[in-house]
Amino acid sequence: MKAYHEENFPVIIVRPSHTYDKTTIPFKGRYTIIDRMRKRRKVIVHGDGTSLWVLTHHKDFAKGINGLLGNNHAIGEAFHITSDELLTWNQIFEIMANAAGAEPKLVHIPSEFIAAFDKEWGAELLGDKTHSVIFDNTKIKRIVPGYEATIPFIKGAEEIMSWFDSDPVRQKIDEEFNHLMDRIIAAYESAFP
């Protein structure tokens, strides 16, 4: 922005948040979580699972960014490009489980407890996913007429599972993460029966 104000450098700032495509499962452990749900094994949801999150399909993001490129009204401005669909983490797990033909066994564990076992996972949760995330897309809708995210996560989840199920090579299981999840669940359930 300094270069824009001082040198008239044509800048546009874009804030996409959590954008996904058919190859992206929105959980730590990726396909391992799907495998656990399909095998009726417990999976961890941080906190009570009610914090809000926004997942944006890459095709919806593309509509927004394409509308900004070459748009003189966008220069020198910052924009969110996200979906308006708000989902709890419980809903995200349930939608993915449903798309996978599974029934999830969710175990709610505080992010701080998870962080005690895995600092990286804990940092991701405590720094980002513990709090509700809500975006205001009014500005991009004003500058890019007709911009609207139209692909709900329920459709995105079906697309994700179709991609993973179409080739078993894509269904990678992280056994180290499996063991970590089992250890965290066992420790939490023994401490808080």
Q: Please, what are the domains in the chain? A: 2-191 (3.40.50.720)
Both tokens of residue 189?
Answer: 């359930």
Distance CA 54, CA 41 (A): 26
The list of the chain residues with pLDDT below 70 reads none
CA–CA separation, 160 vs 96, rounded Å? 9
> Considering only CA atoms, which of 126, 132, 94, 133 is closest in space to residue 110?
126
Residues 6+ apart with CB under 8 A from 3: 9, 11
Q: What is the pLDDT of residue 189?
A: 96
- Other beta carbons within 10 angstroms of residue 181's beta carbon come to 26
Burial of 138 by CB count in 10 Å (0-12 exposed, 13-18 middle, 19+ buried)? Answer: exposed
- Alpha-carbon span 140 to 160, nearest angstrom: 27
Q: Which helix (H) or strand (E) holds 161?
A: helix 153-165
- In the prediction, which pLDDT does 127 show? 85
Q: Could you give the CA distance from residue 158 to residue 156 in angstroms, rounded to a whole number? A: 5
- Which pLDDT score is estimated for 193? 76
pLDDT at 173: 97
Phi, psi of 20 (to 5 degrees): -135, 165
For position 128, what pLDDT does the model report? 84
